[in-house]
Amino acid sequence: MYELDGDDGRLTNCVGQRCPRDIVQFVIYDEAIRNGNLNEEVLREIPNQMVMYMEIQGIKPTDAFEPD
C-alpha cells in the first residue's frame, strides 16, 4: 500500500512518466478508530488535492459570489 501512496514522493506509471498528483490516501484503520480520528485521516488530503487539480487545469480562483 505504501508504494501506491505518493506521500513520500511523486509516483511514476509503468513507463516511467511522473504522475501529476497523488490521489490515494491510505489510513491504518485500527489506529484511526482507536484514536477517534478516522474522518480526519481520510479527508486530510482533499484540500491540497483540490488546489493541485485547479492549478493543473489552469483554473484560477475568482472573487466570492455575492447574491443580490
Report the distance separating Cα 24 and Cα 1, nearest Å. Answer: 10
pTM over 0.75, yes/no: no
The full set of domain ranges for the chain reads 24-58
Grouping H, G, I as helix, E, B as strand and the rest as coil, residue 67 is: coil
Tens-digit pLDDT string for the chain (68 aa): 656 666 666 677 788 888 777 677 778 899 989 999 898 988 888 888 888 888 889 988 886 677 76
Is-contact 23 52, C-beta < 8 A? no
